[in-house]
Every structure is written in structure tokens, then in C-alpha cells.
A = this chain, B = another copy of it.
């Protein structure tokens, strides 16, 4: 177990800089081709500092995996099992995801990218650490949902797929527009509003 004490003692703002720079590079290039030179340039720190905080590129990657795990676990805790309406539950998770993306714009892209990661140096650790946590969260997300609200004869699995694809699509679109927005709070509202329009459309289709 690695303790990232050097890095954890940094000011949060600086930690954020470095995490985002690293995430961006790993998303863009994958573990092996990712360049630490590029990371330090984007994070505005020196090469020496990066290797002072983390001992190697691999350690840095593992830190991000660990951090990402915690993000998903937090998300998982936020799922309210007493809310049995699928749309409402998904809406809440979507909003939480959105708030995380304010701080780490490519956080979920990074987590998604780990699924394609092929480097033998990190593949096993991803499988062991990340996949179970991810599956657990997905299971909880759809647990105790009141599926009786759905129309007869509808393929619920397919309906959920459309929901997910739509959520994903809104997220992608929103992120592109984000550059022009300053007020995070207002954007959160706007995101919810946007989702509601799509949700209404789909609810009309899927519900009785």
C-alpha cells in the first residue's frame, strides 16, 4: 500500500491542477503512451516535483485509480434506495456526477478509459480494484426500483439503455458548453432543467 503523503500535503488547488493534468493525459494517450513531460507542463510544475510527489508514472496512475474508486463509492452512498422512481433516481446521480465534473472535468472519461486500458502493468489492478466497485454501484442504482410504473410489454432493459445513452449524450453536450459558463450553481440548475425535458419525453413513452 502506497501512502501519497507528499502529495496529500499539497494545497488542494495544486492537487487539483496535477490530478486534472494527469487525467487529461491518461485519457488522451492511455497509460503507456502518456507523457510525464506533458503532465508537468499542463500542471505547471517541474518534472522533479512530480517524481517527488509520486515515485513513478505507475504510482501516479494508481493514485488516480484509487481516487476514482472513492469518487464512485461516494456516488454509490448518495443513492437513495427509498426513492423508487427510476427517473428521479437517475436524475440525482446525474447531478452528482455533474458536480464532480466541475472539479475534475474528465474524471468519468478517465474511469471509462480504464476499461480499454491494455498495458499489462496496470490492467490487473484496474480489474481488481475498480471493476467490483463499479459493478456494485450499478447494481445499487437499479435496486428496488418500482418497475410496475412501466407500460406492459415494454422491454425495461432496453428502456434503461436508452435512458443511459441519453444521459451520456446530455453530459457530453453539457461539457462542451461548459467553457462559456462561469457560475457553477446556475449551470447545475440548467443541467437539471435540460435533463427534465428529455426525461419528460421518455417518461411519456415508457410509463403507463
Contact = CB atoms under 8 A, between A and B. Distances in A.
Interface of A: 28-30, 33, 154-155, 158-159, 161-162, 164-166, 168-169, 173, 197-198, 201-202, 204-206
A205 B162 CA distance: 13
Nearest to A118: B28
A201 B158 contact: yes
Contact of A201 (B33, B162, B169): B162
A88 to B, nearest CB: 19
A187 B82 CA distance: 42
Contacts of A161: 169, 173
B206 A159 contact: no
Nearest to A201: B205
Given A159-B201, A204-B205, 10 more contacts: A155-B197, A155-B201, A161-B169, A161-B173, A162-B198, A165-B168, A165-B169, A166-B166, A201-B205, A205-B206
A152 B158 CA distance: 26
A172 to B, nearest CB: 9
Contacts of A173: 161
A206 B28 CA distance: 37
A113 to B, nearest CB: 12
Contacts of A202: 162, 205
Nearest to A35: B33
Contacts of A205: 201-202, 204-206
